Amino acid sequence: MEKQKQINYYILFENYTQGMELQSYLRAENIPSRISPAPRCIQGELGCGMSILLKPEDLERAKQCIEKNHAAYHAIVPLENQINPKRNRFC
């Protein structure tokens, strides 16, 4: 039986200021999110290596927050979970 892969959403920005501004809007509306390095596989030509990480269940509320506050961002990208819970464990 194959385990279903978890999808996370990364909001990418052209600069750090855009990311911090959106993070403050999300916090003000109690939308769970976290600042994260942009995964290399989706960073592309952007100079800003910052992203905001969202769980699938919080995506629609985040989009509504972005629209309501006219927040600037580059893209919202779905990607398989990049977090390895066994990272840096040697036993």
Domains of the chain, first to last = 7-80 (3.30.70.1530)
pLDDT category of residue 1 using cuts at 50, 70 and 90? very low
The Cα–Cα gap between 21 and 23 comes to 5
**Amino acid at site 63:** K
The 8-class DSSP code of residue 3 comes to P
Counting Cβ atoms within 10 Å, is residue 21 exposed (0-12), middle (13-18) or buried (19+)?
middle
**Per-residue pLDDT tens over the stretch 34-77:** 999 888 777 666 768 899 999 999 999 999 999 999 999 999 99
The Cα–Cα gap between 22 and 39 comes to 19
Q: For the chain, give me the number of helices (H) and strands (E)?
A: 3, 4
Tokens of 8: 């996370």
Tokens of 1: 């039986």
* Whether residue 91 has pLDDT greater than 80: no
pLDDT of residue 43: 64
What average pLDDT does the chain have? 86
